[in-house]
A = this chain, B = another copy of it.
Amino acid sequence: MSELSTTTLFDKPDAKLGSQVHAAATIVDGLQINNWDRNVLEELRAGGISGVNATCAVWEGPADTLKAIGDWYQLAAKNPDLMVLAQTSEEIRQAKIDQRIAVLLGFQNTSSFGDDFRMVEVFHRLGVKVAQLTYNIQNLVGGACYEPEDSGLTRFGRTIVSEMNRVGMLIDLSHVGNRTSLDAVEASVAPIAITHSNPTWFVENPRNKPDEVIRAVTDAGGMLGCCLYPLVIGGKKTTLDQFCQMIARLVDELGPERVGLGSDCTRNWDTEYVGYLRNGRWQAEGETKATWPEWPEWFVGPEDFPRLTDGLLKVGLDETTVRGVLGENWLNLFDDVFTGREV
């Protein structure tokens, strides 16, 4: 990473251009995992966000996932001025016009399907448009980024990929193991996304992806959503300029339409939830209690999206490319994948 100071974020020679581009773009965040309420929705609106893949299940099985989705329906019913549950790119574009947030429900695991491939269509009909194949540890579908061994995509995993292709649910590889990721790209007849990770050449970390995996995904028409979670950017000291330089290099290497954002915002949670994310129910909590990391001062939540627009322009990306990265690339991918496939 370059050694530019964080103070660059406060120099805004193109502030006006930044505002214009930000206002014109349809901004879509590839992943947020907030504890959602009206305040959080207002943070997204303040950030100019029109669409978001909102995680509604991580370790949950089918029954608990139904409850979580029921909570989402309640939130939407109570905040119609601020949000709408959406299933298409068109609804996200409309949400921008209406100044609302279009929420696509998403899973960060396939535990919600239990052991039953039929649950893919069930949850798709309930509004789930994105599902990550595995979360941190081995599951019925395949290996994960923190599991020492990666089984590859299992036989059940192949059934799930095929069923997701059929109904038009976007496959996400962010927390998936590398071997399973490569298997999934090969097995899928639709493009695949990494909604919230960075390249390992930016920060070496099990949650980030080697070139081989990123290339496999983008060569097959998929996308990488660059992630702001402190762990995967190298901690809070990493600068906005460094983050945007990474994006510029990815745009150069992969093509402007293959790169997006997936902030991984974790707003409004208490520390208990980070323990749940780490341990689920598969192990007892360790002696050191898990805590949330500190975010960089230039990005603490959805309200800071305009800074990303400024930063991307500042590293020299043109307006069309910036609009693509900010969300329009996601819209194109959704249009492509959500139609479903014959399998």
Contacts and interface: CB of A to CB of B under 8 A. Distances in A.
Given A116-B282, A117-B283, A149 B140 contact: no
Interface in A98-154: 111, 114-118, 137-140, 143, 147-152, 154
Contact of A149 (B116, B118, B148, B154): B154
Interface residues of A, number: 29
Q: How many monomers of this protein are in the complex?
A: 2
Top 5 A-B pairs, shortest CB-CB distance: A151-B151, A116-B281, A156-B282, A138-B154, A159-B283
A16 interface: no
A154 B141 CA distance: 13
A177 to B, nearest CB: 10
A61 interface: yes
Chain A interface main SS type: loop
A138 B118 CA distance: 18
A139 B138 CA distance: 8
Contacts of A280: 115
A59 interface: yes
Contact of A59 (B115, B139, B282): B115
A140 B140 CA distance: 6
